[in-house]
Amino acid sequence: MLVLKFGGTSVGSVENMSHVKDIINDGQQKVVVLSAMSGTTNALVEISNALKGGNSSLALSLIDALRSKYIEVISHLFEDEMLAVESEQYVRWIFKNIQDCAQEFYTERSYNQIVAQGEFLSTFLFSRFLQQEGINAQLISALDFMRIDRTNEPDMFYIKQNLNRILTETEPADIYITQGFICLDAEGYVANLQRGGSDYTATIIGAAIKATEVQIWTDIDGFHNNDPRHVPDTHAISNLSFDEAAELAYFGAKILHPQTVMPVRDLDIPVRLKNTMEPKAYGTLITNEIHGEGIKAIAAKDDITAIKIKSGRMLLAHGFLKKVFEVFEKYETSIDMITTSEIAVSLTIDDITYIREIVEELSKLGSVEVDSYRTIVCLVGNNIVYHPDTPKLFQIMQDVNVRMIAYGGSNNNISLLINTSDKLETLRKLNRYVFEPELV
Ligand code: ASP
Ligand code: MG
């Protein structure tokens, strides 16, 4: 069986839903995972922020605006009167639930409840749309099988047991539709796999049912060799290894949720990235195989904060780094890059929720400096650390102010921390050097 995941733009308009219908209606049995329609999760986050800030009148007006958008979608999506009426009732019921959350005392659980509604809406409307088009599809609820454990990792045993049971118990269908992103937590409350988590849902499902392939359909034709928003003439990379894709997804190439390849990598289930608007394009195929040599892709990740801890007292004496890491562990904040010297250690984070507390605790270990608005530029390719062309990088970068370098942490990745204001120039320079050497 295949697993196909479609992102927000793929289900963001009637026309695009119709493209998705054509793609999935090929007689092969599959699970289809959907994100919320584009813009919806952001709008739901805004609603919850308004509630969190105690501004319920703003929340109610945002709820009204979003509901009207859905009522409008229904009017374009359905010619079948019965399906239109049923869908409108469903949409009104969902928004009534959101309004009910607005009446209650706001907690983290309210946030989780509210942001989950986007995927319920998209999957309900899409499944009714398929019904109208005469396609045999069954809607299954992700909350009946998708669960995370106390460490927020997918509970694979539970997911496998329940999903496989549901698939055998549900009436046979060509297409099973389910929600991406949402799940239950270890206590049975509605939770999620973090923003962009629908990709992760798809590979978790792929692993649970031992799918033949997981396809992630989005609005771009795969991983590009550089950031197409900033560099002209980038191209999709046809083949990546799981390791290369994991590095790229983590360091900036926004196209894939960073954890996506993890569930399927050891099972060797290929992941294919495809473009809904250009289904014939090859896209990017991610497998265990290694293709090509040298730097394959450049990506950038913004909003990075660098923290330097400087200590006069034997900084690298054993036990010091442990104490530093324990602070980050305590605040569940992951570290991206790290470099050390005898008297200082620098590291970067992208989640600054607890920055104040972290700095306060680190100050007990030494003097602390924080630099915000940095960018990690990351070069990815199999074994690039050993590639004979790689050292030339340092010539290219000689007039860029590089704050940190991570070289050799993994053979497939070299990361540079620069000022965000130097990002465009750096990406373009590296692009010329790596992909257009004849022009340099
Ligand atoms: N709808 C969720 C989000 O916007 C999940 C996803 O799109 O993957 O983050
Ligand atoms: Mg996404």
CB distance 154 to ligand 1 below 6 Å: no
Q: Where are the alpha helices (DSSP H) in 253-408?
A: 262-265, 320-330, 355-362, 393-396
Say how many C-beta atoms besides its own lie within 10 A of residue 437's C-beta.
Answer: 10
- The CA-atom distances, in angstroms, between 3 and each of 32, 182, 183, 408 are 6, 17, 17, 35
7 alpha carbon to ligand 2 midpoint, in Å?
A: 6
Pair of tokens at residue 426: 């750096």
Q: If 0-12 CB within 10 Å is exposed, 13-18 middle and 19+ buried, where does residue 82 land? A: exposed
The β-bridge relationship of strands 182-184 and 190-192 is: antiparallel
Whether residue 434 is found in the same domain as residue 308? yes
Q: Has residue 355 been placed in a domain?
A: yes
Biggest CA–CA distance in the chain, Å, is 76
CATH number at residue 375: 3.30.2130.10
How many angstroms from the chain centroid is the CA of residue 102?
28
- Looking at ligand 1, which residue's alpha carbon is closest to its atom 9? 195
CA distance 347 to 337: 5
- The CA-atom distances, in angstroms, between 335 and each of 305, 306, 320, 348 are 10, 10, 16, 6
197 alpha carbon to ligand 2 midpoint, in Å?
A: 7
**E strands present in 44-189:** 137-139, 175-179, 182-184
Final residue of a structural domain among 219, 247, 278: 219
φ/ψ bin of 314: left (φ > 0), alpha (ψ from -120 to 50), beta (otherwise)? left
Q: Has residue 245 been placed in a domain?
A: no
CB distance 200 to ligand 1 below 6 Å: no
* Tens digit of each residue's pLDDT (9 = 90 or more) over 377-416: 999 998 898 888 888 888 888 889 999 999 888 888 999 9
Mutate to test the pocket of ligand 1, among 41, 194, 199, 276 (most ligand atoms within 8 A of CB): 41
CB distance 41 to ligand 1 below 6 Å: yes
Task: Please list, in sequence order, all residues whose beta carbon lies within 8 angstroms of the beta carbon of residue 69, skipping any fewer than 6 positions away.
Answer: none
Model confidence, pTM: 0.91
Q: What is the pLDDT along the chain (440 residues), one digit of tens a residue?
A: 999 999 999 999 999 999 999 999 999 999 999 999 999 999 999 999 999 999 999 999 999 999 999 999 999 999 999 999 999 999 999 999 999 988 888 898 999 999 999 999 999 999 999 999 999 999 999 999 999 999 999 999 999 999 999 999 998 999 999 999 999 999 999 999 999 999 999 999 999 999 999 999 999 889 999 988 899 989 999 999 999 999 898 876 678 998 999 999 999 999 999 999 999 999 999 999 999 888 999 999 999 999 999 986 655 567 888 899 999 999 999 999 999 887 889 999 999 999 999 999 999 999 999 999 999 999 999 889 888 888 888 888 888 999 999 988 888 899 999 999 999 999 999 998 888 766 55
Pair of tokens at residue 71: 């009522």
Final residue of a structural domain among 197, 219, 241: 219
24 alpha carbon to ligand 1 midpoint, in Å?
A: 21
Whether residue 10 is found in the same domain as residue 150? yes
Whether residue 200 is found in the same domain as residue 53? yes
CA distance 54 to 110: 13
Whether residue 335 is found in the same domain as residue 209? no
CB distance 48 to ligand 1 below 6 Å: no
Q: Has residue 261 been placed in a domain?
A: no
Across-strand partners of 96?
none
Q: Has residue 122 been placed in a domain?
A: yes
- Looking at ligand 1, which residue's alpha carbon is closest to its atom 4? 41
Q: Has residue 247 been placed in a domain?
A: no
Whether residue 162 is found in the same domain as residue 309? no
CB distance 381 to ligand 1 below 6 Å: no
Q: Has residue 57 been placed in a domain?
A: yes
219 alpha carbon to ligand 2 midpoint, in Å?
A: 10
What's the number of CA atoms in the CB half-sphere (13 Å) around residue 286? 28
Whether residue 46 is found in the same domain as residue 169? yes
Q: Which atom of ligand 1 is nearest to the CA of 181?
A: 5
Whether residue 192 is found in the same domain as residue 302? no
CA distance 395 to 364: 39
Whether residue 332 is found in the same domain as residue 210? no
Whether residue 63 is found in the same domain as residue 172? yes
Residue-range definition of the domain harbouring residue 13:
2-219
Whether residue 64 is found in the same domain as residue 202? yes
CA distance 302 to 224: 17
* Backbone angles phi and psi of 349, in degrees to 5: -135, 160
CB distance 260 to ligand 1 below 6 Å: no
CA distance 252 to 232: 18
Whether residue 215 is found in the same domain as residue 314? no
- Looking at ligand 1, which residue's alpha carbon is closest to its atom 5? 196
- The CA-atom distances, in angstroms, between 159 and each of 37, 144, 153, 169, 188 are 25, 9, 11, 15, 13
CATH number at residue 105: 3.40.1160.10
For residue 303, the SS3 value is: strand
* Tens digit of each residue's pLDDT (9 = 90 or more) over 234-262: 999 999 999 999 989 887 667 899 899 99
280 alpha carbon to ligand 2 midpoint, in Å?
A: 21
Whether residue 187 is found in the same domain as residue 64? yes
Domain count, the chain: 2
CB distance 198 to ligand 1 below 6 Å: yes
Contact 250, 406 (CB under 8 A): no
Q: Has residue 125 been placed in a domain?
A: yes
Final residue of a structural domain among 193, 219, 245: 219
Q: Which ligand has the shortest distance to the CA of 256?
A: 2
- Looking at ligand 1, which residue's alpha carbon is closest to its atom 6? 196
Q: Has residue 107 been placed in a domain?
A: yes
